[in-house]
Amino acid sequence: MTIESEAQYSFGTKAVHSGAPLDPTTGAVIEPISLSTTFGQSEPAKPLGIYEYSRSANPNRDNFEIAVAALENAKYAIALSSGSATTALVIQSLPVGSHIISGGDVYGGTYRYFTKVGDTHGVQAEFVGNLVEDLSGALKENTKLVWLETPSNPTLQVTDIAKVAEILKEHEAKTGNKVLLVVDNTFLSPYVSNPLSHGADVVVHSVTKYINGHSDVVMGVLATNNADLHEKFRFLQNAIGSIPSPFDSWLAHRGLKTLHLRVGQASASAQKIAEYLVQHPAVLKVNYPGLKSHKNHDVVLRQHRNGLGGGMISFRIQGGAKGAALFTSATKLFTLAESLGGIESLIEVPAVMTHGGIPKEEREANGVYDDLVRVSVGIEDTEDLLKDIEQALEKVSA
Ligand SMILES: *Cc1c(COP(=O)(O)O)cnc(C)c1O
């Protein structure tokens, strides 16, 4: 299928069929893995097919990109070797002397790139607590990009993308300065939210998480509807060379075909688990976008498919750091590990694991207390997951 012909289809159909043509030579239903680094030419500069050299383009990477573009309602997608390489490529596309504004609690590696690498390329990053409230005051003459991550990690606060896009449109109308809005959609996946449809210019993903979904590939992708941006990013993808391998592209494409089923199931289970946690006496506070009590639930209803909360939950547990350690060591189905978005349920304590590098005061100002537990809900049976949480909470209460 071509991207154009796909507009009529719904998400699950696009997930299965986008970028997945029958192999033209054998009729294979599943594409072969194209490992060749180079492709033959009939005369100098006349390739036999459409490929020349695998860094520039590769059939498996192309097909994966077509599929992601279809799922993000985008014209173009570009795959990179990791989510972090995707962030790096976007920032490297900016001119020296650029100012960027980022939401405060972005992914740790993104924060590290903005503060320790971006500045060596002459890109200055500024962080604001709340993009909707603080953005207007932070915009400068040389602001070129706004980086937005929603929901935030690990407290799952939701930012109104359309609102931020509107502020930037007003800024452009007033000053003539176009500021790109980039949304990191890793935590929701394209199944739950499509940021481009809410006014973002670029959407980025760590494919490592939900899109691949099987905890066996590190990869990234970005998508956009802007032809000029696409051309710039495509040039950099080849020039920088941080590309995914054909095998990883193939695996990630295979994972993507079941994205709707996996994220639908994880989200349904997470909703039940969050509701269970809310009423448990050993739980102090639950952060979950699917709860009606969530601070930005109105935005969730506008921005997420069917108001889905996604597969990520965080909550504060009784007993401080000890309680969190006891609980996360007592679960049997939730493996104590970093990362998220896979078929298997994971659990972690951000204060000493994913967010251990952030000073305590700064951490706690963002709600990341020693007793905060983060859960990535997998696709195991809901009842089994609930029972596992129940028995682990009993150990904490005892
Ligand atoms: C994991 C992650 C990244 C970085 O992706 P890698 O594939 O690990 O390089 C970026 N943003 C978010 C929200 C993430 O969870």
CA separation for the pair 48, 273 (Å, rounded):
55
Catalytic (active site) residue 302: no
Buried/exposed 261-277: b ≥16 CB within 10 Å, e otherwise: ebbbbbbbbbbebbebb
Give yes or no for residue 366 CB within 6 A of ligand 1: no
Angle at 303 between CA 353 and CA 198, to 5 degrees: 110
Catalytic (active site) residue 53: no
259-278 vs 382-397: helix crossing angle, rounded to 10: 30
Q: Give the pairing type, strands 41-43 and 46-47.
A: antiparallel
CA separation for the pair 345, 336 (Å, rounded):
9
CA separation for the pair 81, 283 (Å, rounded):
39
DSSP 206-267: ETTTTTT-SS----EEEEES-HHHHHHHHHHHHHH--PPPHHHHHHHHHHHTTHHHHHHHHH
CATH number for the domain whose boundaries are 260-397: 3.90.1150.10
Decide: 53 and 238 in contact? Cβ < 8 Å: no
**Domain assignments of the chain as residue spans, ordered by start:** 11-256, 260-397
Q: What is the pLDDT along the chain (398 residues), one digit of tens a residue?
A: 455 556 789 999 999 999 999 998 999 999 999 999 999 999 999 999 999 999 999 999 999 999 999 999 999 999 999 999 999 999 999 999 999 999 988 898 999 999 999 999 899 999 999 999 999 999 999 999 999 999 999 999 999 999 999 999 999 999 999 999 999 999 999 999 999 999 999 999 999 999 999 999 999 999 999 999 999 999 999 999 999 999 999 999 999 999 999 999 999 999 999 999 999 999 999 999 999 999 999 999 999 999 999 999 999 999 999 999 999 999 999 999 999 999 999 999 999 998 888 889 988 988 999 999 999 999 999 999 999 999 999 999 98
User: Which member of 61, 209, 262, 374 is catalytic?
Assistant: 209
Tokens of 105: 């609690």
* 3-state secondary structure (DSSP) of residue 279: coil
pTM: 0.97
Count of Cβ atoms closer than 10 Å to residue 369 Cβ: 19
Indicate the fold that domain 11-256 takes in CATH: Aspartate Aminotransferase; domain 2 (3.40.640)
Distance 107 CA to ligand 1 centre (A): 7
Tokens of 384: 């089994």
Decide: 197 and 73 in contact? Cβ < 8 Å: yes
Give yes or no for residue 84 CB within 6 A of ligand 1: yes
**Pocket-testing residue among 156, 186, 218, ligand 1, by greatest number of atoms within 8 A of Cβ:** 186
Amino acid at 293: S
